[in-house]
Amino acid sequence: MQHTVIDRVDQVAEDVVSLVLRRAADPLAPWEPGAHIDLTLPNWLTRSYSLCGDPADREHYRVAVRHDPLSRGGSEYIHHYLRPGRALDVSPPRNHFPFRPAPGYLFLAGGIGITPLLPMLAAAVAADVPASLVYVGRSRATMPFTEELLSRFGDRVRLVATGTDGRPDLAALAAGLAPDSLVYCCGPAPMLTAAQAAFPAARLHTERFRPAVRTFAPNTPFTAVCTRSGQTVPVGADQSLLDALRRYGHQVPSGCREGVCGSCELTVLSGTPEHRDDIGAPEGRMYACVSRASSAELHLDV
Ligand code: FES
């Protein structure tokens, strides 16, 4: 865990604040575009947000938070109670949306989905690689960082307010894509679905902030064998692995509880996980909030 103090809270769009966090002790852990951190909020909730500041700045992290009317307490708390001067613990950065080298980029952002893409665009421009951003929102007032984007990146940025401009023509963007360019897309589910239909899968990189709607086989019970503690933890069909482990006293971190943030990652030593996350668990890892087991036992490094 890293200790920070809130340096600034700025309203950057309707219902969106940016938080600048200043290191309270050691220099902050390094990060690369696409990374996110977990904020441990004073109301005991943990929430993940993409870093959208400057990766070279080891003194500060910047994130942006949209107030979600269906908030389960995270964005609600941040908007109403977090103020400059407050201490806040944050996790080291994790990156499930890595920025790959390419001869050109098209960035496609929807609303708060601009956050991971902003440092990617900055990195591409700094490296003198052709890059453009199509940034979509209901109206300009709802879209964070528009002034900053226009002043830093000029005509590489195209703002599309769907209320007045309609939706961008993704087929035309796909047709105009330079050879070997990559497309990075972050936004609401309909935008990701439209991008998946328009761009070749091999060139499209997406990040979800809500899980895709999918259907799984009915839950079955299994046993988690915790090799470090020596405990055997039964996981019922009606509970998650995360909840079962916590019930037995294992302090597994968590954030989204929806399989999108990666906070609850565990190392699997043997057994067969049934992956239900939207991250794409690396070999030998699983996300305990949603994933289960298709073998009777899972041996975990817990
Ligand atoms: S808590 Fe976010 S992936 Fe499990």
| Angle at the Cα of 96 from the Cα atoms of 289 and 146, rounded to 5 degrees | 115
Q: How confident is the model at residue 185 (pLDDT cuts 50, 70, 90)?
A: very high
Q: Which atom of ligand 1 is nearest to the CA of 279?
A: 3
- How high is the pLDDT of residue 43? 83
| 8-state DSSP, 94 | B
Q: How confident is the model at residue 74 (pLDDT cuts 50, 70, 90)?
A: confident
* Mean pLDDT score, 256-269: 92
Ligand 1 neighbourhood includes 291 CB (under 6 angstroms): no
CA of 128 to the centre of ligand 1 (A): 36
* Mean pLDDT score, 264-286: 94
Ligand 1 neighbourhood includes 287 CB (under 6 angstroms): yes
Ligand 1 neighbourhood includes 289 CB (under 6 angstroms): yes
CA of 114 to the centre of ligand 1 (A): 21
| Fold topology of 2-90 | Elongation Factor Tu (Ef-tu); domain 3 (2.40.30)
Ligand 1 neighbourhood includes 149 CB (under 6 angstroms): no
Q: pLDDT tens across 170-181, in order?
A: 999 999 999 899
* Mean pLDDT score, 7-35: 96
Contacts of 90 (CB under 8 A, 6+ apart): 1, 2, 4, 21, 37, 38, 39, 40, 61
pLDDT value at 69 more than 80 = no
CA of 260 to the centre of ligand 1 (A): 6
Domain ranges in the chain are 2-90, 105-207, 222-300
What number does CATH give the domain 222-300?
Answer: 3.10.20.30
| Run of H or E including 72 | none
User: For residues 169 and 90, is the Cβ–Cβ distance under 8 A?
Assistant: no
* Mean pLDDT score, 208-226: 89
Which SS3 state, helix, strand or coil, does residue 141 take? helix
User: For residues 88 and 40, is the Cβ–Cβ distance under 8 A?
Assistant: yes
Q: Which atom of ligand 1 is nearest to the CA of 48?
A: 2
Ligand 1 neighbourhood includes 91 CB (under 6 angstroms): no
Q: Which atom of ligand 1 is nearest to the CA of 262?
A: 3
Ligand 1 neighbourhood includes 259 CB (under 6 angstroms): yes
In this structure, the number of other CB atoms found within 10 A of the CB of residue 276 comes to: 18
- How high is the pLDDT of residue 208? 82
Q: pLDDT tens across 232-246, in order?
A: 999 999 999 999 999
CATH 3.40.50.150 fits 105-207, yes or no: no
- How high is the pLDDT of residue 18? 98
* Mean pLDDT score, 76-92: 94
Ligand 1 neighbourhood includes 241 CB (under 6 angstroms): no
